Amino acid sequence: MPIVLNHTYKSTLFVLLILLVNTSLNGQNVLYEYVDLSASKGSTEFFLSEIEGQTGIVFSYSNKLCFKDELELAKQQGYVREILDALFINCPSNYIVRGKKVIIQPIDGEPEKIVVKGFVLDKTSNEALIQANVYEPDLLLGTVSNNFGFFSITLPKGFTHLSSSYVGYKNHHHYLELERDTILYFLMEPKDELDEIAVVGDRVPGKVKSTRTGVIDVPIEQIKKVPVFLGEVDIVKSIQLLPGIQSGGEGFSELYVRGGGPDQNLVLMDDVPIYNSSHLLGFFSIFNADAVNNVRVIKGGFPARYGGRLSSVVDIRMYDGNNEEFKGTASLGFLSGRLAVEGPLIKDKSSFSVSFRRTYFDLITSVWQLNEADKSRYYFYDFNTKLNYKLSHKDRLYFSGYMGKDSYGVSYNKQTVEIEHPDLPPTTRTIYDENDVGWRNYVAAARWNHIFGDKMFANTTLSYSDYRFFIDQSLNYVSDGSLTQGSQEYYSGIRDWSAKVDVDYIPSPRHYIRFGGSAINHIFYPGIDVQLTEIEGTPIDTTFGGTQMYRAEYRFYLEDDFHLLPRLKLNIGGHFSLFQAEGDKYYWSAEPRLSARYLIKDNLSVKAAYSHMTQYMHLLRTSTVAMPTDMWLPVSRDIAPMRAMQSALGFEYEINKGFNLSLEFYYKELDNILAYKETAGYFDFASDWQAKLTAGDGQSYGFEVLLHRKMGNLSGWFGYTYSKSTNQFDELNNGLEFPANFDRTHDISIYTTYRFSDKVDMGATWAFGTGNPITLPETKYYAPQLPTAERPNELSYNQFINERNSYRMPNFHRLDIGFNFKKKKSWGSRLWSVGLMNTYGRQNPFFLYFEDRENEQTGETERSLRQFSLFPIPLPYVRYTVKF
Amino acid sequence: MRKLGYILMLTIALFACEKDIELELNQQSDKLIMYAFIYPDSALNLHLSKSQSILSVPDYQQVERGRFQFYINDNFQGAYILPSDTVWSEWTEFSFDVSDEISITAYEFNGDTVSAGSYIPEKIPILQMDTSSVTRNIAEVGANMLRIRLTFKDPASEKNYYQTLVVREGWGDMDGTPYYTRKTVEYDKDDMVFTRDQSGSLLPGIDFQGLFTDDIINGREYGMEINIPKDNLFFDYYEDKIKLTVYLYHHTDDYYSYFRSTILADGYEGFYEGLPVFEPVKIHTNIENGLGLFSGMNFDSDSLVFIK
């Protein structure tokens, strides 16, 4: 046979074989054939005969089966299995399916329990699907996959139907005869959203779903379609569009959650805390969307496994890497270029994921500055990598790393220096004095997943996180033919080494127990100066200033997610921590975490939560906007930990699969929150940093509405928040309560994405917010030149502030629109993304200030209050992406 | 820090814009403003004015019919009418000694009344002043400095507030007429009393113009070091003699707090080129029912003289 024909023949056989196997698998579906009985009353035998007649099923059963001469069924229609369950409700039985034959066996005593464990994975890439539902729809037993896609569920022996559901994927069903403990993989197939057919029974039964309040899972595909500033996909900016979460100012990537400050958010990248998640002074976040697998935001009802921050957890999981084939994405925008590659290293054993993003503004400016004496440059980059290696069915290793940096540099004082060599003619060299300022994050983690038995999953993580802000300066001084070079470096930051173990123990479908602990060694660098002078080859190295502070932190937690009543599910846990402040000074906390969900109807539930949180470190802020100079510092003898208590009550209504409406009320109290005293600030280095701060309390309450459609051609969300956040400090505002810095009474965000076809989709966001509180002076008065002043006053008047945050800036609103044009190519696909930020050119306030200006008509000086807007005009963006 | 400001400025230059806006400001009644700085063996100089709306162009409004009553060590010194045509009025009939308790009540005829109290702090003697020549600050390779070590003893029983000020004076002859120059010297403030070991040479803090407290030297004899750029020792064309005078001021808590808060308020203006990205600073006052400062002060000094 010719080779080509031989190949075709084998391929056809292979396809037929698959179809045959598939058919035989589907043959087990006889229990899910739909029947419509002719009567609701009759004997057991009558109903079995009727089912046999309608479906062709042949029942086989022993005489031990409890037959009744007369019984009445609650419903006449349903799946075969539902009818059988109703017939034998008083004598539970196993149904063993053999083709069209169903053997009914009465269960003696408690049915034997079988453990089914496994992973929920993306079919095309084998990427773990996190928080996927895995459930038995008839017994209403269920669980969810963890951060590594692992699940474990205990089911009665016999025939079972196990389903898995995940947003954006088709439901996957396994029909099994459970004889012994089983390993099962759900290979989920992404759903073609154009094919929006509602599948009956596709919805996950409410009973098996989460107990949590205040948790939002945002599909990464939705995040990627949000119109973005300068074409940079930004996860944090998408999160800011969710109810209860606000940005610090227009364009910034800070998060203010339910009245909390930006340092009260625990931002995790694959379990490792990130201390500064921004680029370009906060205009962009460091998370390269090409490398992100899952984003989860928790703003209340914190599970016991999280701790260390008061207001929110942003849990970001990166891609493990495609296990099946090599894939890549490359992208060019106004600001940056990105490249992401993933693929298998050893088939079915190991895969990798690497992504890189860098701005090229500096490359462009370097061309302009070719003939300039002084040169400046700015860039930032992100590098993510992740490797995983499967040691066995029970063991897997992960290594992940992140490096990111922002740098702004200036070269100046161009000098030509003659260099003499003893054996060579003298040469000349051009040298510059240089200044660099920037900040960077280095993060690394090694993790080991191990499955103990069938019901216990352990993840052990060793991690390293290093954030540093730096200023470098190097100078050259040529005098009488000799060159003196000097350099200085200033840096501050925080470095963590940590080890932690997280264990998931699933003893039965009714309990999901998590416990674990961690030990963290924090090293705080509050500002260190290094100076190096090299005079004709003799280096002099000096380090001074800024003592390193070593602080140890220990954490333990235990939580159980369980059914107390058939409709009442609870999550009860505790988080315990210990922090070594200074010497023998320790702080500790025992934080109760409780959340409950009561199922009113299968798609309607009421939820409640109560949690305590403690935070042992705080961010000493430079200014009212995020700056890399902001410095993390630990609690001390004089600065006590910040603590928060939050309670919430919510309702969740599942309109359809992946389409939810939620309403949540919350109340939050914050203790020992910190602020600068009214006569101190960051750059006041003449005062001890602790003396500059004052502690107070905060309060926040409100409600949030979220209508979220995660799938379909038209998807997105509508969010509304009403909130009131206040602070009270004895040493601020004369001890009176005042609005918190980013208190926003009304906040609306609408995000929609519509998929017109396979080739075109669009996204639009509209956000509205009550103006932020602002402190404005109301009067001015004479300020004399003081008799001991070293230099003249900047101003000849002082400003008098009566009340803190007593005014509001004008309201904020903005519309952003973006389109994506996709085309399939032989090598993959290409995507053009274009859009317009601030489409109708709204001038939103960034800050307000007073200014004296001359009236051109009258010639008189006038003073007015002015508004400064950062992005007052429509800003277009374009980005080109290829996937291969 | 300014470099960060430049990045922000660059972004702003690319996109930002400004416009006038209307915002209803709360109407505050005008407050009386009073200032007086009192040295031993000197006259009283007094300022009384009224505050203005923040939207007004003038910095203050004159008090037309001002009056004041003055007390030294609780002894009533008299009631006086303030002139309405000067910013400051000088009252030579008073003289003051160290530790005098002083208080004042001032009012606008048929208007508000303000009052304040202070005292004349003790002089803290400079016990010793030594000099040496050093090369400082690698950022300015080769910069030569005159290091002055100033030794004084901090009184243990009280919280003390200080300021070190250096004044350069020059004398000479310019075409037969006497020539005189005077300026305050901005010296390097690296001593621990100024920085608390927090600032770096590349991340400088706000220059508090030599103000410091006894927080880390309480009750001790302390040798404070200041570095004066050597260009202050160069004679200009007409100068024949230079005198560098180092003043060690002993301030009251109120003077220190007022001075410091005005420096903070001004200082932040400079960091981001006037971008108001800092919380506004509340200016300290010790004027009851009003604003301003009423304070005594004292100093000791020592000097270095250089002849051409």
- The CA distance from A754 to A749, in Å, is 17
Mutate to test the interface with A, among B186, B203, B277 (most CBs of A within 10 A): B203
Q: What is the pLDDT of residues A263-307, one digit of tens each?
A: 899 999 988 999 888 887 777 888 888 888 888 889 888 999 999
Tokens standing for residue A130: 């996190």
Confidence tier at A59 by pLDDT (50, 70, 90) = confident
Mean pLDDT of A67-78: 82
Q: Flag whether pLDDT at B103 surpasses 60.
A: yes
Confidence tier at A659 by pLDDT (50, 70, 90) = confident
This prediction's pTM: 0.81
Q: Flag whether pLDDT at B2 surpasses 60.
A: no
How close A313 gets to chain B, by Cα (Å)? 27
Mutate to test the interface with A, among B7, B46, B165 (most CBs of A within 10 A): B7
Token look-up 């205040």 returns: A214
- The CA distance from A771 to A812, in Å, is 6
* Confidence (pLDDT) at A289: 83
Q: Using CB atoms within 10 A of its CB, is residue B233 exposed (0-12), middle (13-18) or buried (19+)?
A: middle
Lowest mean pLDDT among A382-391, A402-411, A421-430: A421-430
Q: Flag whether pLDDT at A6 surpasses 50.
A: no
On whether both B105 and B130 belong to a single domain, the answer is no
More confident residue, A350 or A361: A350
Q: Is B12 on the interface with A (CB under 8 A)?
A: yes
Mean pLDDT of A466-495: 80
Look at residues B58, B93, B120 and tell me which one is the last residue of a structural domain.
Answer: B120
Q: Flag whether pLDDT at B8 surpasses 70.
A: no
Q: Is B134 on the interface with A (CB under 8 A)?
A: no
B12 found inside a domain: no
Q: Residues 6 or more apart from A776 whose CB is under 8 A from it?
A: A801, A806, A807, A848, A865, B23, B25, B54, B280
Instruction: Find the helix or strand (DSSP H, E) in which A408 lies.
Output: strand A395-419
Residue A85 has φ and ψ, to the nearest 5°, of -60, -40
Domains of chain A: 3-106 (3.55.50.30), 113-208 (2.60.40.1120), 327-772+809-883 (2.40.170.20), 775-807 (no CATH)
Token look-up 């939620």 returns: A662
On whether both B78 and B101 belong to a single domain, the answer is yes
B17 found inside a domain: no
B209: chain A residues, CB-CB within 8 Å: 788-791
Confidence tier at B110 by pLDDT (50, 70, 90) = confident
Q: Please say whether the beta carbons of A266 and A306 come within 8 A.
A: yes
On whether both B244 and B115 belong to a single domain, the answer is no
Considering only CB atoms, A779 lies closest to which of B51, B261, B267, namely B51
Q: Highest-confidence range of A13-22, A356-365, A522-531, B174-183, by mean pLDDT?
A: B174-183
Confidence tier at A194 by pLDDT (50, 70, 90) = very low
DSSP code for A685: T
Name which of A702, A706, A676 is nearest A690 in CA terms. A676
Mutate to test the interface with B, among A380, A436, A684 (most CBs of B within 10 A): A684
Look at residues B120, B145, B170 and tell me which one is the last residue of a structural domain.
Answer: B120
pLDDT above 70 as % of chain B? 85
Residue A682 exposure: Cα atoms within 13 Å on the Cβ side: 25
- The CA distance from A640 to B130, in Å, is 44
Residue B244 exposure: Cα atoms within 13 Å on the Cβ side: 23
How close A609 gets to chain B, by Cα (Å)? 35
Please report, for the domain that includes residue B142, its CATH number. 2.60.40
Q: Flag whether pLDDT at B282 surpasses 50.
A: yes
A280: chain B residues, CB-CB within 8 Å: 7, 11
Mutate to test the interface with B, among A781, A844, A847, A852 (most CBs of B within 10 A): A781
Considering only CB atoms, B17 lies closest to which of A681, A843, A861, namely A843
Mean pLDDT of B30-54: 91
DSSP string, A271-282: TEE-S--EEGGG
CA-to-CA dists, residue A480 to A417, B55, B134, angstroms:
11, 58, 21
On whether both B96 and B179 belong to a single domain, the answer is no
* Confidence (pLDDT) at A882: 93
- The CA distance from B7 to A875, in Å, is 19
B112 found inside a domain: yes
Confidence tier at B197 by pLDDT (50, 70, 90) = low
Mutate to test the interface with A, among B2, B11, B21 (most CBs of A within 10 A): B21
* Confidence (pLDDT) at A655: 87
Tell me whether residues A529 and B202 touch, CB distance under 8 A. yes
- The CA distance from B49 to A366, in Å, is 56
Q: What is the pLDDT of residues A92-143, one digit of tens each?
A: 777 777 777 787 877 766 677 888 888 898 888 888 888 888 888 777 778 8
How close B175 gets to chain A, by Cα (Å)? 30
Tell me whether residues A870 and B15 touch, CB distance under 8 A. yes
Tell me whether residues A788 and B259 touch, CB distance under 8 A. yes
Residue B55 has φ and ψ, to the nearest 5°, of -90, 0
Considering only CB atoms, A847 lies closest to which of B4, B268, B277, namely B277
Tell me whether residues B282 and A870 touch, CB distance under 8 A. no
Lowest mean pLDDT among A209-218, A398-407, A634-643: A209-218
Mean pLDDT of B242-254: 94
Please report, for the domain that includes residue B38, its CATH number. 2.60.40.10
**Positive or negative torsion for Cα A422, A428, A430, A431:** positive
On whether both B147 and B113 belong to a single domain, the answer is no
On whether both B140 and B84 belong to a single domain, the answer is no
Tokens standing for residue B11: 């972004």
Q: Flag whether pLDDT at A197 surpasses 50.
A: no
Look at residues B64, B94, B120 and tell me which one is the last residue of a structural domain.
Answer: B120
Q: Flag whether pLDDT at B269 surpasses 60.
A: no
Nearest CA in chain B to A732: B282
Q: Is B85 on the interface with A (CB under 8 A)?
A: no
Q: Is B55 on the interface with A (CB under 8 A)?
A: yes
Confidence tier at A17 by pLDDT (50, 70, 90) = very low
A864: chain B residues, CB-CB within 8 Å: 20, 55
Q: Flag whether pLDDT at A14 surpasses 80.
A: no
DSSP code for B154: -
Identify the bridge partners of residue A240 per DSSP, sorted by sequence position: none
On whether both B136 and B212 belong to a single domain, the answer is yes
- The CA distance from A839 to A750, in Å, is 15
Q: Is B1 on the interface with A (CB under 8 A)?
A: yes
How close B155 gets to chain A, by Cα (Å)? 20
Q: Flag whether pLDDT at B141 surpasses 70.
A: no
The residue type of A642 is M
* Confidence (pLDDT) at A691: 79
Q: Residues 6 or more apart from A397 whose CB is under 8 A from it?
A: A388, A389, A391, A446, A447, A448, A449
- The CA distance from A147 to A295, in Å, is 11
Helices (H) and strands (E) in chain B, counts: 3, 18
Tell me whether residues A781 and B212 touch, CB distance under 8 A. no
More confident residue, A553 or A418: A553
On whether both B36 and B110 belong to a single domain, the answer is yes
Name which of A643, A789, A736 is nearest A260 in CA terms. A643
On whether both B203 and B134 belong to a single domain, the answer is yes
B26: chain A residues, CB-CB within 8 Å: 778, 802, 806
Tally A–B CB contacts below 8 A: 293
On whether both B178 and B303 belong to a single domain, the answer is yes
Q: Flag whether pLDDT at B299 surpasses 80.
A: yes
B182: chain A residues, CB-CB within 8 Å: none
B134 found inside a domain: yes
Name which of B91, B75, B247 is nearest A787 in CA terms. B247
Considering only CB atoms, A790 lies closest to which of B25, B209, B280, namely B209
A378: chain B residues, CB-CB within 8 Å: 7, 10
Tell me whether residues B59 and A800 touch, CB distance under 8 A. no
Q: Is B250 on the interface with A (CB under 8 A)?
A: no
Q: Highest-confidence range of A586-590, A797-801, A863-867, B142-146, by mean pLDDT?
A: A586-590
Mean pLDDT of chain B: 84
**Straight-line distance from the first to the last Cα atom of chain A, in angstroms, rounded to the nearest whole number:** 36
How close B215 gets to chain A, by Cα (Å)? 9
Q: Using CB atoms within 10 A of its CB, is residue A416 exposed (0-12), middle (13-18) or buried (19+)?
A: exposed
Helices (H) and strands (E) in chain A, counts: 6, 55
Lowest mean pLDDT among A364-378, A834-848, B61-75: A364-378
Q: Please say whether the beta carbons of A849 and A864 come within 8 A.
A: no
B285 found inside a domain: no
On whether both B115 and B132 belong to a single domain, the answer is no
B110 found inside a domain: yes
- The CA distance from A299 to A310, in Å, is 9
How close B179 gets to chain A, by Cα (Å)? 22
B121: chain A residues, CB-CB within 8 Å: none
Q: Flag whether pLDDT at A645 surpasses 80.
A: yes
Angle, helix A44-55 to helix A80-87, in steps of 10 degrees:
170
Tell me whether residues B16 and A872 touch, CB distance under 8 A. yes
Instruction: Find the helix or strand (DSSP H, E) in which A160 lies.
Output: strand A158-165
On whether both B211 and B138 belong to a single domain, the answer is yes
The residue type of A387 is L
**Core vs surface per residue B246-280: b (16+ CB within 10 A) or e:** bbbbbbbbbbbbbbbbbbbbbbbeebbeebbbbbb
Considering only CB atoms, A679 lies closest to which of B49, B50, B282, namely B282
B147 found inside a domain: yes
Number of independent structural domains in chain B: 2
Mean pLDDT of A244-265: 83
Structural domain boundaries, residue B39: 30-120
How close B307 gets to chain A, by Cα (Å)? 25
B41 found inside a domain: yes
Tell me whether residues B199 and A788 touch, CB distance under 8 A. no
**Positive or negative torsion for Cα A23, A28, A34, A35:** positive
CA angle at B280 for the pair B277 and B281, rounded to the nearest 5°: 130
Q: Residues 6 or more apart from A254 whose CB is under 8 A from it?
A: A247, A248, A262, A278, A282, A626
Q: What is the pLDDT of residues A491-503, one digit of tens each?
A: 888 999 999 999 9
CA-to-CA dists, residue A733 to A737, A781, B261, angstroms:
7, 20, 16
